[in-house]
Amino acid sequence: MIDIQKIKNQFPILNETVNGKPLVYLDNAATSQKPISVLETLQNYYTSINANVHRGIHTLSQLATEEMELARKKVQHFIHAKNDYEIIFTKGTTEGLNLLAYSFTSQIKAGDEIIISYLEHHSNIVPWQLLCQRTGAILKVIPMDGNGILQLDFLERNLSEKTKIVSVNQISNALGVINPVEEIVRKTRAMSDAKIIIDGAQSAPHFRIDVQQMDCDFFVFSGHKMYAPMGTGILYGKEEALNSLTPFHGGGEMIATCSFSETTYAGLPFKFEAGTPNVGGNIALGAAIDFMESIGNEVFVSHEHQLLEYAQEKLSGIDGLHIYAERAPRAGAISFNLEGIGIASDVGMILDKLGIAVRTGHHCTQPIMDFYSIAGTVRASFAIYNTFEEIDILSEGLKKAKRMLS
Ligand SMILES: *Cc1c(COP(=O)(O)O)cnc(C)c1O
């Protein structure tokens, strides 16, 4: 048995009270809390290392560079990338996806096709719409059924030599649905030369990630959803896939030579890291990975799976509570509404009074809400420090909300 309380004690914020009640933090799909080791790494960086990287010969600059490059190696091992220079530091999933959509521009022409899915976050929709506007490419969407399961026969009918990009998430942030990315990769490879992008914002915090086994070309995720500071994120790309792209941002750090007549670019990863990076944050992302690895991925998967099962059992026992994507394989989150109560935020407000933090609304996935003809849902999402007692508190809170609102 793992001692969840011991893990929980490493998170100072989880001892706080909210509205006079102990905090029950169930909004981890929006951002996770940070353990002391991550907070101390960040503070230690600013109190005793702070210097710009790759630029100075002086001791602190070298130390900052070494620490950040060590964090890059930790990320490499965390997702099992082949080379450390395939790891690009970004400020989050959104930046990673926008970087890709922009950098692909010169390879895409009118009539080319880009495939995403119905379950995407706005940040895996809008950058592709913008790319289509720039180039005349066409955006196609893998449909889903009422259970939130993607209809992959769509791929057989739509993949062709025209398909240039397939970009899907591994776990839906709105519903917690696990998408069969291995099957999507296999089908895509069999029928096209498309580059495959996986949005791992919701899977990296929960699953063991092996980008080589997955055989995707790119994998993007956010540090802040996996115990690291805000403003951190990763874009992984296979070496040849990254090399085929033009840079997103131009500036310092990303050049080999620069004159007014010609500029040549630095090699990977620096070609995609213009300007001063979030050095302290990136180093603290390394500490977040250390934290996760000190517990072990099997423990994460099993504890978070048990939390979800328990929440499913408790919440489905509440009369009139409707859970979305109930029959789909899910991880990390449960999304629901109380029947007859039109506004999810009313439920969220009552829960907040009880110290319970959940997310309500469209979760940056308006197409999914349109699919179900709803404005939003209530979403409870889990991390390693959540307990079964907290789900009991949520369940009681929902019963109270139901009494008050109906
Ligand atoms: C959170 C999230 C994003 C956006 O991540 P940011 O950290 O806000 O840039 C994209 N996709 C999914 C699936 C997400 O959960």
pLDDT, tens digit, 9 for 90 and up, residues 26-67: 999 999 999 999 999 999 999 999 999 987 789 999 999 999
Q: What is the pLDDT of residue 56?
A: 78
Average pLDDT value over all residues in the chain:
96
Q: What is the pLDDT of residue 335?
A: 98
Q: What is the pLDDT of residue 2?
A: 81
Q: Which residue has the tokens 């509440």?
A: 318
Long-range contacts of 183-186 (CB under 8 A, 24+ apart): 183/152, 184/150, 184/152, 184/155, 185/214, 185/215, 185/216
Please report the atom of ligand 1 found closest to the CA of residue 172: 13
Please report the atom of ligand 1 found closest to the CA of residue 169: 13
Between the CA of 124 and the centroid of ligand 1 the distance, in Å, is 9
Between the CA of 318 and the centroid of ligand 1 the distance, in Å, is 30
pLDDT at 1 over 90: no
Q: Tell me the domains of the chain and their CATH numbers.
A: 4-29+297-405 (3.90.1150.10), 39-293 (3.40.640.10)
For the segment 91-139, what is each residue's pLDDT rounded down to a tens digit?
999 999 999 999 999 999 999 999 999 999 999 999 999 999 999 999 9
Please report the atom of ligand 1 found closest to the CA of residue 171: 13
Average pLDDT (354-380) is 96
Q: What is the pLDDT of residue 341?
A: 80
Between the CA of 223 and the centroid of ligand 1 the distance, in Å, is 10
Average pLDDT (13-28) is 97
For the segment 145-183, what is each residue's pLDDT rounded down to a tens digit?
999 999 999 999 999 999 999 999 999 999 999 999 999
Between the CA of 38 and the centroid of ligand 1 the distance, in Å, is 21
- 372 versus 55: the higher-pLDDT residue is 372
Between the CA of 174 and the centroid of ligand 1 the distance, in Å, is 11
Q: What is the pLDDT of residue 343?
A: 84
* 32, 90, 93, 209, best to mutate for ligand 1 pocket (most atoms within 8 Å of CB): 93
Q: What is the pLDDT of residue 102?
A: 98
Average pLDDT (258-286) is 95
Show Cβ contacts of residue 10 under 8 Å, excluding neighbours closer than 6 positions: 35, 36, 37, 291, 385
- Roughly how many angstroms between the first and final C-alpha of the chain, as a whole number? 41
Active site residue 364: yes
Shortest-distance Cα residue to atom 2 of ligand 1? 201
Is residue 345 within 8 A of residue 361, CB to CB? The reply is yes
Ligand 1 binding pocket (C-beta < 6 A) is: 92-94, 121, 123-124, 169, 173, 199, 201-202, 222
* 169, 202, 218, 366, best to mutate for ligand 1 pocket (most atoms within 8 Å of CB): 202
Average pLDDT (334-358) is 93
The C-alpha atoms of residue 406 and residue 404 are separated, in whole angstroms, by: 6
Please report the atom of ligand 1 found closest to the CA of residue 120: 13
Of the pLDDT bands very low, low, confident and very high (cuts 50, 70, 90), residue 406 is confident
